[in-house]
Amino acid sequence: MQKKLLILPFFIGIIFTNDFTEKKSIEFIFGKPKSTINSKLYGNILDKNFTIVPKYHTKINNIELKVLPYISENNFIFRELYFDYSFKKNSVIIGRFITNNSSSNELISSGSMLISNNTLPIPRIGFRTSNYLFKIKYSFEIYHGIMEKNENINKAPFLHEKKLYFRKSIDKSSSISLGIHHAAIWAGSTDKHGLQPSSFLDFVDVFLADKSREGVGNLADQGNSLGDSRGIWDLSYNKKIGEQKYNIYYQIFFEDKSGLKLKNNVSNFDGLYGIEIQSQKFIFLYEYLKTTYQGGNVHPPGIDSYYVNGTYAPGWIYKNFSIGNSYINPENNRAKINHMFLKRNFGDNSFFIDYSFGKHFLPYIYKDYNETLIFDNDNGEKFSEIAFGYNRNLNQNFDLKLFFEKTIDTKSVFLSLFYNINTLK
C-alpha cells in the first residue's frame, strides 16, 4: 500500500496543474458496494474498504487524454487510461476506455446486453466515425482488443468489436434509432483446444461472423461462426415533451446466425426492455430483462447458452465479471429481472432508490447435438436488491454521497466524498 501511495502525489500534481482547460477531480470512497447496480457503477473494481480515485481529463483542440486510476491497499489499476485523436468527423482511440452509445443509460441501467460498464474496460485500439446520409445520422465504430489468460486459456485471445447505428429524426421533438453491435473473441490458445485460428483470412471470417473454412477451427467454428461471436440488435425511440425526455428501447441479443437474422421468433422476446424519463428535477428508469428462452430447449437450433463458450471457457467475462448485462453471467444466464431507478433533486440535495427483483432459473450451459433440456421443476430462485442513496452538494466543488444497500444475503453502507477542482485556464 505504501508503494502505491507514493504514486498518488504524481496524480495530485497533474490534477492541480492549470496549463490548459481540463476536468480534474478526486474521490475518496469509504466502504464498498454489495448490490449489483452500485458494483457496476464502479466497474466491480472496489474490493477494499478505502479507495482513492483521482481523475484527469483534458481536451486540447483535436486531442483528448483521460487518466482514471483506482488506488487502494495492494491494488493500483486504471479504469480508464486512453489517448484519442480526432480529425474531421473521425477519431482514433487507444487505451482502456468506456464507450457509451447504446440505447441504455449506463449510469443507471443494468447494462447493455453485449458490452456494459460492469467490469474493467478491455484494452483496445479503435476507429470511430459519424456523419449524415440522406438526412439519417449514422455512426460506425470498430475496435481491436486483447483479452486475458485464465485457467483454461494459456495465450490471451483477441477481441473484435464493431457497431453501426442509424438515427432518423421524425420531427423536431422525436427520433428513432436502430443499431447492430457485434463482438467476438478469437485467436489465442487454450489448454483443451490448442492454438486457435489467427490469420488475416480468419479475421475476415470473424468480421463477417461467418463460419470458418473447412478444416480450420473446431466443429462449432466450422458449423456456426469462427470464434466466440455474439451481438445485439438495438432499437430505441426518443421523444421530448415539454421539459421531459423519453427514451424507450429494446435490445435483442443473439449468439448465432439464426438470432442475427431474427429467426426463432426473435428468441421468444428474450432481451432487455427499458423506458427512461428524464427532466431537470428527476430521472425514472424501468427495465425488464428476460433471457429464459434462448432459442428453445432443443439443440439445434436452441439452447443458445448466453455468454457461454466451450473454447474460451467460461465465456463472456473479463476480470471475473460479466462483460454484458450485470444480472447474468455464463454460469447464471437465465433470468427474468425487473429493475427500477428513481432519482429526485431538491436544490442541493438529491435522493435515489434503486430496486431490482425477479428470478434466476437453471442455466443453459454446455450442450451436445440433438440434446433436449427439460427443467419441469424449475420454479426459479428469487432475486431481490434495493439501494437508497443521498447526494449533497456541500459547495461548488464538494459532493457527499451516502449509500445504503440491502440484498437477500447482506446489508451494507458506503460513503463517497467527491472534490471537483475548478476548471482553469
Q: What per-residue confidence (pLDDT) applies to 301?
A: 77
The stretch 326-335 carries a mean pLDDT of 97
Query: Is residue 299 scored above 80 in pLDDT?
Result: no
**What is each CA distance from 148 to 55, 77, 315, 335, in whole angstroms?**
25, 15, 12, 27
Q: How confident is the model at residue 92 (pLDDT cuts 50, 70, 90)?
A: very high
| Alpha carbons 18 and 20: distance in angstroms, whole number | 6
Q: How confident is the model at residue 266 (pLDDT cuts 50, 70, 90)?
A: low
Q: How confident is the model at residue 326 (pLDDT cuts 50, 70, 90)?
A: very high
**What is each CA distance from 251 to 106, 178, 194, 221, 357, in whole angstroms?**
14, 10, 34, 25, 20
Q: What per-residue confidence (pLDDT) applies to 418?
A: 96
DSSP letters spanning 51-110: EEEEEEEEEETTEEEEEEEEEETTEEEEEEEEEEEEETTEEEEEEE-----SSS-TTTSS
| Alpha carbons 277 and 248: distance in angstroms, whole number | 9
DSSP-derived 3-state class of residue 425? coil
Kindly give, in sequence order, each residue whose CB lies less than 8 Å from that of residue 395, ignoring residues fewer than 6 positions away.
none
Q: How confident is the model at residue 214 (pLDDT cuts 50, 70, 90)?
A: low
| Alpha carbons 363 and 308: distance in angstroms, whole number | 10
Query: Is residue 242 scored above 80 in pLDDT?
Result: yes
**Can you count the helices (H) and strands (E) in the chain?**
6, 25
Q: How confident is the model at residue 189 (pLDDT cuts 50, 70, 90)?
A: very high
Q: What per-residue confidence (pLDDT) applies to 14?
A: 53
The stretch 401-408 carries a mean pLDDT of 96
Q: Is residue 176 within 8 Å of 170, Cβ to Cβ?
A: yes
Q: How confident is the model at residue 296 (pLDDT cuts 50, 70, 90)?
A: confident
Residue of 34, 32, 69 lying closest to 52 (CA atoms): 69
DSSP 329: B
- Here the cell at position 21 is 482547460
Q: Is residue 276 within 8 Å of 105, Cβ to Cβ?
A: yes
Query: Is residue 424 scored above 50 in pLDDT?
Result: no
Torsion of Cα atoms, 236 then 182 then 383 then 366, to 10°: 150
Q: How confident is the model at residue 425 (pLDDT cuts 50, 70, 90)?
A: very low
**What is each CA distance from 373 to 152, 265, 305, 369, in whole angstroms?**
26, 19, 12, 12
Element (H, E) at 221: helix 219-223
Q: How confident is the model at residue 225 (pLDDT cuts 50, 70, 90)?
A: confident
Kindly give, in sequence order, each residue whose CB lies less than 8 Å from that of residue 212, ignoring residues fewer than 6 positions away.
197, 202, 205, 221, 222, 226
- Here the cell at position 60 is 486540447
| Alpha carbons 51 and 74: distance in angstroms, whole number | 11
